[in-house]
Structure 1
């Protein structure tokens, strides 16, 4: 899923893209049952077929290397929760600073994009620190990379932003200037369907 079609500009998938995405999501779901014990793919697919507008966001998560998978279910709303479950921070979302303000503050060597705007354009949200820690309960993620997470306003107003990774079998939360970017730092997202 590396090609973008003209249809994607309208945030719609072709029938072929839709079927390929559903096959990919189903295979990942079945391969990683530890992430969603007691869930049934038929229920997830039925929800996706009712909320087809979310398929484009899942496609974008997949296209950029996020490997989205179901990690939870909200029993009150009926929504399934998808997180990026790639072993490392998604390849198509690395080398980005935290947000637009940080991007515009750089005088030279600006990255091509920022995490907050990319997530919004994809229709997803950056993981919170709490969600990141929940993800890490399901496996070992970001053992060689790191991922920006939602940053509290009080930290962001002072110029900082938070990112997380897993080293020494421990999840760490760090800070950096929001304008910084690295080849090994991207972001992980979440989507409610």
Structure 2
């Protein structure tokens, strides 16, 4: 990883190969989308490739989950079976991290996502992702929290149990080994 947020030619080729294999293996996530068009878009936006590499590095297994014909944009999301391992044990945001007096976690979801150039999924996006597979059957993922809930010290997270998406609340300063976050990136 470099400070300029650019990948070497070798890193780009390796990442594109990984993404292409995942894309071809999971066509149900992006029916009617051609990999050649996705790759051309990615090659035109090296900063987005860097962000996708961060998603991959933290074990998110990013894949295309949506194509907007009007804007000609592809949306990638973390499609790992469970919440990405490299993004767990984080509280919700910096304010929550600062308020934690004992045993603070190393990081928070909002700042980690921003540093990666991605956004936390919304509850709506999380529910849409679950239409493409069963995710977070043993883990949970922070999602974007409405400001009124956050103002009261809370944050929300989701998981998938018993064939349903569940939305829960917790103190924003809480963190667990089985809770991380899923992100999205539009290219």
C-alpha separation between the residues in 2 aligned to 1:170 and 1:53? 35
Q: Are 1:166 and 2:143 matched, yes or no?
A: no
In the TM superposition, what is the alpha-carbon distance from 1:123 to its structure 2 partner? 0.2
The residue number in structure 1 matching 2:48 is: 54
Paired residue for 1:153? Answer: 147
User: What is the TM-score of this pair, normalised by structure 1?
Assistant: 0.96
1: CA distance between counterparts of 2:100 and 2:45?
A: 39
The offset of 1:75, in angstroms, is 1.5
Please point out which of 10, 14, 21 is paired with 2:4.
10
User: In 2, distance between residues paired with 1:76 and 1:116?
Assistant: 29
Superposed, 1:28-177 pairs within 5 Å as: 28-177=22-171
| Corresponding residue pairs, total | 187
Q: State the Cα distance separating 1:156 from its structure 2 match.
A: 0.2
User: In structure 2, what is the Cα distance between the partners aligned to 1:76 and 1:153?
Assistant: 30
Question: In the alignment, which of 17, 25, 33 is matched to residue 23 of structure 1?
Answer: 17
TM-score (norm 2): 0.99
CA distance in 1, matches of 2:67, 2:25: 18
Structure 1 residue runs without a partner (length 5+):
none
Report Cα offsets for 1:50-108 as digits up to 9, x if no partner.
Answer: 11221000000000000000000112211100000000000000000000000000001
- State the alpha-carbon separation in 1 of the partners of residues 39 and 170 from structure 2: 39
In the TM superposition, what is the alpha-carbon distance from 1:41 to its structure 2 partner?
0.3
Q: Which runs of 5+ in 2 are unaligned?
A: none
